[in-house]
């Protein structure tokens, strides 16, 4: 609070209106705001200063002006000025979230700090814990805050060793906030005194109790299997093996499958076999059990075939439809059991696979990178028929190089048994 004297130096009775101008105007009043004076008289008015406790009112020197406006002669307005010194005050608000965190070895928390004082401060954090089992790390460690400014500070907590089994361990701790602008008189200010923030870290065991119960149950089942089930299985398998190796008599009552009239190296034939000269025992000629058979059991075929594969490498431009083929050789049959199609660039479009006149599948290229099909029963393709792959390239993809390809590129591999149909 301060005062100001207003004097009427004119030769008439004058009324003066008093109001505050400048940065102090929102929280400064003049009492009384209007005075009437006779010529040559004066009056003292009171100026009341009530700056709010807010970070918006910075500490330091603030100009104060009072405008004195005469009613009869407004052109004679005066604005006497002075300065007001705003004292410093410190107020820091801190929140910690969450107050409880669970983890195996470490936990993360967030500190929200706001400077409610009217002067810049540098904030420091001091953790507290009963023992030395926890390690603390703040990021940033010492933030600097202007009046009214807020900051988010990360807090990481780490334990020294894990808990392998048992119940969770609770580690309580505190976080105390201090600032470089703290003064001794602020320590007695209720608004400036800050209580430490309480929190806790719950360290959970690596192996929970339910896992130990499950492991014990599995071990009990395993022991029961070894003790009861496995001996029974081995006994049944042994009996089955003994039955397999028992000699079976032939129609003539033989024990070893040989004619009793023949010794070692005898030339007698088995029933249905061939005699000398390639004839059957009844004297007729024909294919016996030793005749070669081709695919499908055809007695006139040549050999059982061998594994074979073929690859169709097809490249096409954007918007183009292109076809690639593989033709089965003459006098051969191809029994296909597996196909693998690769779209390694990630192209977009449509791919159709055909065996002869039979369409196998139609696939959208954008739905796969590698696709494979397998059949238990081979799909047979006759001689001179073709395996055909047709690709409509709508949009080339991007290979592992990261640069879009100029065109589409697909690869089809078919494999199976290639056998001869004629000798």
Domain with CATH 2.60.120.380 in the chain: 295-420
Whether omega before 244 lies within 30 degrees of 0, making that bond cis, reads: no
User: What is the tally of helices (H) and strands (E) in the chain?
Assistant: 2, 24
Average pLDDT over residues 107-133: 92
pLDDT above 60 (res 360): yes
In whole angstroms, what is the distance from residue 64 CA to residue 22 CA? Answer: 6
Residue 301 has a pLDDT of 39
pLDDT above 70 (res 243): no
- The mean-pLDDT minimum among 6-20, 75-89, 256-270 falls in 256-270
Please say whether the beta carbons of 65 and 77 come within 8 A.
no
Q: Kindly report, residue by residue over 379-392, the tens digit of the pLDDT.
A: 999 988 999 999 99
Residue 236 has a pLDDT of 62
Q: pLDDT band for position 330 (50/70/90)?
A: confident
Q: pLDDT band for position 180 (50/70/90)?
A: low
Residue 288 has a pLDDT of 35
In CATH, 295-420 is 3.40.50.300: no
pLDDT above 80 (res 244): no
Q: Quick one: which of 83, 359, 82 has its CA closest to 351?
A: 359
DSSP single-letter state for residue 229: I
Average pLDDT over residues 223-232: 76
Specify the CATH number of the domain 92-203: 2.60.40.10
Measured at the CA of 28, the angle between CA 32 and CA 54, to 5 degrees, comes to 155
Residue 189 has a pLDDT of 53
Classified by CATH at the fold level, domain 2-86 comes out as: Immunoglobulin-like (2.60.40)
pLDDT above 60 (res 303): no
Beta strand segments in 52-162, E: 60-70, 81-86, 92-97, 100-103, 106-115, 121-128, 134-139, 144-145, 150-159
Q: Quick one: which of 197, 178, 408, 176 has its CA closest to 313?
A: 408
Residue 285 has a pLDDT of 36
Q: Kindly report, residue by residue over 18-56, the tens digit of the pLDDT.
A: 999 988 999 999 999 999 999 999 999 999 999 999 999
Give me 120's structure tokens.
Answer: 């810049």
Q: pLDDT band for position 192 (50/70/90)?
A: low
- Between 295 and 372, whose confidence is greater? 372
- Between 191 and 98, whose confidence is greater? 98
Domain with CATH 2.60.40.10 in the chain: 2-86, 92-203
Q: Where are the alpha helices (DSSP H) in 125-255?
A: 209-224, 230-245
b/e per residue 155-175 (b: at least 16 CB within 10 A): bebebeeebeeeeeeebebbb
Average pLDDT over residues 171-186: 75
pLDDT above 80 (res 299): no
Residue 230 has a pLDDT of 63
Residue 281 has a pLDDT of 38
Q: pLDDT band for position 377 (50/70/90)?
A: very high
pLDDT above 80 (res 57): yes
pLDDT above 60 (res 63): yes
């Amino acid at each position: 609070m301060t005062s100001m004297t207003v004097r009427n130096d004119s030769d008439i009775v004058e009324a003066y209106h008093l109001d505050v101008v400048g940065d102090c105007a929102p929280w400064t009043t003049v009492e009384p705001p209007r005075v009437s004076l006779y010529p040559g008289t004066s009056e003292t008015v009171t100026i009341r200063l009530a700056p709010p406790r807010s970070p918006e009112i910075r500490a330091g020197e603030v100009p104060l002006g009072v405008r004195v406006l005469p009613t009869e002669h407004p052109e004679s307005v005066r604005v006497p000025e002075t300065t007001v010194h705003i004292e410093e005050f410190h107020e820091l608000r801190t929140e910690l979230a969450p107050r409880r965190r669970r983890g195996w070895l470490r936990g993360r928390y967030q500190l929200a700090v706001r400077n409610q004082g009217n002067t810049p401060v540098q904030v420091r954090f001091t953790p507290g814990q009963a023992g030395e089992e926890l390690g603390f790390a703040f990021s940033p460690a010492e933030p600097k805050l202007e009046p009214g400014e807020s900051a988010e500070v990360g807090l990481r907590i780490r334990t020294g060793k894990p808990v392998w089994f048992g119940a969770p361990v609770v580690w309580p701790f505190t976080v105390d906030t201090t600032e470089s602008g703290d003064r001794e008189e602020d320590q007695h200010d209720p608004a400036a005194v800050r209580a430490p923030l309480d929190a806790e870290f719950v360290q959970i065991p690596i192996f929970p109790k339910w896992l130990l119960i499950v492991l014990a149950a599995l071990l009990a089942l395993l022991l029961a299997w070894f003790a009861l089930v496995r001996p029974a299985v081995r006994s049944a398998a042994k009996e089955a093996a003994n039955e397999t190796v028992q000699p079976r008599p032939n129609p003539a009552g033989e024990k070893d499958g040989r004619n009793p009239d023949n010794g070692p190296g005898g030339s007698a034939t088995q029933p249905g076999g061939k005699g000398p000269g390639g004839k059957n025992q009844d004297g007729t000629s024909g294919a016996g059990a030793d005749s070669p058979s081709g695919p499908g059991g055809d007695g006139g075929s040549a050999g059982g075939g061998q594994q074979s594969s073929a690859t169709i490498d097809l490249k096409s431009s954007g918007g183009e439809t292109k076809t690639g083929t593989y033709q089965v050789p003459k006098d051969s049959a191809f029994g296909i059991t597996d196909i693998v199609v690769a779209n390694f660039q990630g192209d977009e479009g449509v791919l159709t696979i055909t065996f002869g006149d039979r369409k196998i599948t139609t696939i959208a290229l954008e739905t796969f990178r590698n696709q494979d099909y397998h059949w238990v029963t081979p799909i047979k393709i006759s001689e001179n028929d073709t395996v055909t792959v047709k690709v409509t390239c709508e949009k080339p993809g991007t290979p592992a190089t990261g640069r879009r390809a100029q065109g589409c590129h697909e690869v089809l591999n078919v494999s199976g048994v290639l056998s001869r149909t004629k000798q």
